[in-house]
Amino acid sequence: MIAAILVVVAAQAPADSGERVLYRDWCSKCHGADGRGVAAATTRLSVPPADLRTCQGSTAETERRWIGIVTRGGAAFGLSLDMPAFGEAATPEQIRAVVRYARSLCGESGWPPGELNFPRAFLVEKAFPENEWVVVEQGRGQKLVYERRLGKRLQLEGEARTAFDSLHRAFDGVTAAIKYNLWHSLEHRALATLGLEVTPPLGRQDLWEVEPYVAFGAVPVGALVVQGQIVSTWEESGGATAVSYRLGAGRQIGRLTPMLEAGWTVPTKGAAEQLLSFYPQMWVQLSRLGHVAASLGAELPAVGPEPRRPRLIAFVLWDYGDAPLLHGW
Ligand code: HEC
């Protein structure tokens, strides 16, 4: 009887106790017992240790990157030397276990995991909510985009556009947007998001325009990333004027992700023509940490009114939720 009770008690001992001990012995003197980044009074550091407990910080990153940081040390990712490398002293299993424990300190479910944060494409809106600044150059037009996460699944966005062509008015317009991650699954490696963009009649925009959309991202096989979006365009007094179907695929190869997108716009009213364009592009991770990235490519119109001229497109982005601009190089 007693033996049976002992067996039951042993089986019920917290399964993560091994991880917890590793964390306490290896990490807590800098990151704090609760992960909040309050180093022990006896520990001297030149930069504050990361707060491992904030859900937004830990869930937006991949487990793989944290394993990399703990194995190879902060310096390998452009972070401080104060974050030591454990790769020599610990086994890969121990590192995985302690990283999983550190990532569990957030203590909440429902945050979209960083594994589903796919590289930004030219056309398709990202389904992952972001804290980002993006500067875009499109032919003679420029765009500044600011994105801000709110809680687990919501993101607000503001965009200002300029155009330096033969017209006098360089100010092209502004757009405000909101998006909400409806569903995500790490197991299925996919997520889907609902969004709404609103463009007031400012700059070169004459009428109010509202664009509800649904966007998704997925890794259907291997390392192939597929992202898509369906957008419906509504104009003031005109109702729904067009539907756009956007689809892109890419594959990460080291710091590069070559991608190809297609965008097909079908007018639902009037005599407007259908438009079809292709967008070959190369996404490049610039900083070692991965929080600064750029992309270069082109828009190649295939169907639509003449003249159909190719346009160069490029952007630079900074994920300011990840690290300060000059950190992580
Ligand atoms: C000697 C002090 C020290 C120890 C021990 C230590 N860390 Fe760190 N860690 C830091 C500092 C300082 C930073 C911030 C580096 C920076 O921002 O440049 C950091 C950063 C990190 C990051 C990056 C977080 C981010 O947001 O990018 C992770 C992950 C991390 N530590 C995990 C761990 C884990 C897990 C352990 C235990 C196995 C551990 N650390 C042990 C000091 C330490």
Kindly state the percentage of the chain with pLDDT values over 70.
Answer: 95
Mutate to test the pocket of ligand 1, among 24, 83, 320 (most ligand atoms within 8 A of CB): 83
Do 201 and 227 share a domain, yes or no? yes
Condensed to tens digits (0 to 9), the pLDDT of residues 46-100 reads 888 889 999 999 999 999 999 999 999 999 999 999 999 999 999 999 999 999 9
Confidence of residue 42 (pLDDT cuts 50, 70, 90): confident
Number of domains in the chain: 2
Confidence of residue 10 (pLDDT cuts 50, 70, 90): very low
Show the domain range for 166.
Answer: 114-319
The pLDDT assigned to 166 comes to 74
The pLDDT assigned to 9 comes to 41
Cα–Cα distance between 99 and 94 in angstroms, integer? 8
Do 7 and 147 share a domain, yes or no? no
Across residues 126-149, what is the average pLDDT?
96
Question: Which of 56, 86, 104 is the last residue before a domain boundary?
Answer: 104
Condensed to tens digits (0 to 9), the pLDDT of residues 227-240 reads 999 999 999 988 89
Condensed to tens digits (0 to 9), the pLDDT of residues 266-319 reads 999 877 899 999 999 999 999 999 999 999 999 999 999 988 999 999 999 999
The pLDDT assigned to 110 comes to 93
Cα–Cα distance between 102 and 227 in angstroms, integer? 30
Task: Point out the least confidently predicted range of 17-31, 118-132, 250-264, 284-298.
Answer: 17-31
Instruction: Give 50-104 as a DSSP string.
Output: P-S--HHHHHTS-HHHHHHHHHH-GGGGTS-TTS---TTTS-HHHHHHHHHHHHH
The pLDDT assigned to 5 comes to 47
Do 123 and 29 share a domain, yes or no? no
* Residue 328 is assigned to a structural domain of this protein: no
Amino acid at 253: I
**Counting Cβ atoms within 10 Å, is residue 178 exposed (0-12), middle (13-18) or buried (19+)?**
middle
Cα–Cα distance between 83 and 94 in angstroms, integer? 17
Do 152 and 65 share a domain, yes or no? no
Do 190 and 100 share a domain, yes or no? no
Do 161 and 80 share a domain, yes or no? no
Any idea what the Cα angle at residue 67 is, between residues 61 and 68, rounded to 5°? 90
The pLDDT assigned to 11 comes to 43
The pLDDT assigned to 35 comes to 86
CATH classification at residue 271: 2.40.160.40
Mutate to test the pocket of ligand 1, among 25, 31, 104, 288 (most ligand atoms within 8 A of CB): 31
49 Cα to the center of ligand 1, angstroms? 6
- Residue bearing tokens 């104060």: 82
Mean pLDDT of the chain: 92
Please write down the long-range contacts of 140-144, taking CB distance under 8 Å and 24 or more positions apart: 140/164, 140/165, 141/172
DSSP code of 27? T
- Residue bearing tokens 């070959």: 280
The pLDDT assigned to 296 comes to 98
Which of 163, 174, 162, 60 lies closest to 111 in space, CA to CA? 60
Among protein residues, the one with the nearest Cα to ligand 1's atom 23 is 50
243 Cα to the center of ligand 1, angstroms? 47
Condensed to tens digits (0 to 9), the pLDDT of residues 256-266 reads 999 999 999 99
